[in-house]
Amino acid sequence: MAMAQEERQADEKYITLLSGHKMPSVGLGTWRSGSSASHSVHTAIVEEGYRHVDTAAEYGVHEEVGKGIKSAMESGTERKDLFITSKIWCSDLAPERVRNALNKTLQELQLDYLDLYLIHWPFRLTDGAHRPPLAGEVLEFDMEGVWREMECLVKDGLVRDIGVCNYTLRKLDRLIKSAQIMPSVCQMEMHPGWRNDKVLEACKKHDIHVTAYSPLGSSDRDLVHDPIVTQVAKKLNKTPAQVLIKWSIQRGTSVIPKSTHDARIKENIQVFGWEIPQDDFQNLNNIKDQRRVLTGEVLFVNKVLGPYLTVGDVWDHED
């Protein structure tokens, strides 16, 4: 009985990707971690047993994350046991810039390879684009050309898996039609306040694994204090954050909660060996006012000059 429970826990802790590589189902997010990233990464790996760290060029914390990974490895963690994800930013989304962008990322992280490299957003911007962008700062994105270069990174052993973030069904379909190496992962905003069911189902259909970002919501949509979430947490004697993270795992997604607080880093991975009962899980699924927190408006929308005049344009009017 105990062995069966251990096996279930092990199954929960890792996902097998299309490539056959295993990805830990809970990772440490590093968005807005700043100078705390090194300590957070070291603590997560060495003290709390995290094996997945998610970062991105645009976060501006690669060097700090790299220091944390290096100190964790100096403490005895082996590189082969870690799963490191990063993302290519919009200003590098041209075929001739992909390899240099990755090389810079590897140098900053002090690594020889990435486990997963993602397209951060499917839009190309000029270097130093304003927020919101001015006329001429949103460029045409050669999705197929960029993806071919990312496929070359896999073939050259610099990246083990490749994938996307913030894709619509339309863009995902376009990519799948031309890809020689399928995206292993699609990373999207997902939480009970924005289930994003359509993208989740489309990815399942193509065996693309989904990672949920912003699993706790945000300051604009604070799900930690949502009455349904707190009610379930009280019933299960768990924290609201643990309930939200577990909801993501029970949906079949991996999840990358961000924190720079040691206690929360510890709390956020204590989500194995228990389940949310089906009725409570369904109550979480039924949370009203479904809407995105991260719309991309400030990054891509110019309401006068376009080419994206509205948030609806950014998401191909699929919401």
Tokens 């996307």 map to which residue?
164
Structure tokens at 16: 């097998």
Distance (Å, whole) CA 191 – CA 39: 27
| 78, two tokens | 């082996």
DSSP reduced 3-state for 238: coil
Tell me how far CA of residue 111 lies from CA of 25, 117, 136, in angstroms.
22, 13, 35
Long-range contact list for 218-225, CB < 8 A, 24+ apart? 218/293, 218/294, 220/293, 221/191, 221/193, 221/194, 221/291, 221/293, 223/191, 223/192, 223/193, 223/287
61 touches 37 (CB < 8 A): yes
133's CB contacts (< 8 A; 6+ apart) are 125, 299, 300, 301, 302
Q: Is 167 marked active-site? A: no
CB 216 within 8 A of CB 223: yes
Kindly state the tokens that stand for 231. 């009610």
Q: Indicate if the alpha-carbon torsion angle 175, 168, 316, 314 is positive or negative.
A: negative
- Catalytic residue (one of 14, 50, 59, 167): 59
- Which residues are the active-site residues? 59
